[in-house]
């Protein structure tokens, strides 16, 4: 788990809006076990479309 968090942290440092990554890292410590997986946007189109719609509508959590 620590290795995955380190990799995630390195990527987060390169991303402009890394606040969600920091929050995920903070919450990850409260789990006994956790696994992170990268899903390419092309494979996760439904979620990507929902996020785009949320941003377009100005939803505060997107």
Per residue of the chain (62 residues), give pLDDT as tens. Answer: 566 667 766 665 565 456 777 788 888 889 888 888 887 777 888 888 888 888 888 766 65
Q: Is residue 52 part of a domain?
A: yes
Measure the CA dihedral 55/49/17/13, to 10°. Answer: 180
> 23: domain range?
2-57
Q: Is residue 25 part of a domain?
A: yes
Q: Is residue 12 part of a domain?
A: yes
Number of domains in the chain: 1
Q: Is residue 17 part of a domain?
A: yes
Q: Is residue 10 part of a domain?
A: yes
Q: Is residue 24 part of a domain?
A: yes
Half-sphere exposure of 61 (CA within 13 A, CB side): 1
Q: What is the widest separation between alpha-carbon atoms in the chain?
A: 36
Confidence at residue 29, expressed as pLDDT on a 0 to 100 scale: 85
Confidence at residue 39, expressed as pLDDT on a 0 to 100 scale: 79
Q: Is residue 13 part of a domain?
A: yes
């Amino acid at each position: 788990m620590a290795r995955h968090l380190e990799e995630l942290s390195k990527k987060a440092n390169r991303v402009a809006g890394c606040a969600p990554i920091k929050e995920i890292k903070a919450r990850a410590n409260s789990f006994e076990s956790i696994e992170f997986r990268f899903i390419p946007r092309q494979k996760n189109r439904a979620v990507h479309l929902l996020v785009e719609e949320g941003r377009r509508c100005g939803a505060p959590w997107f």
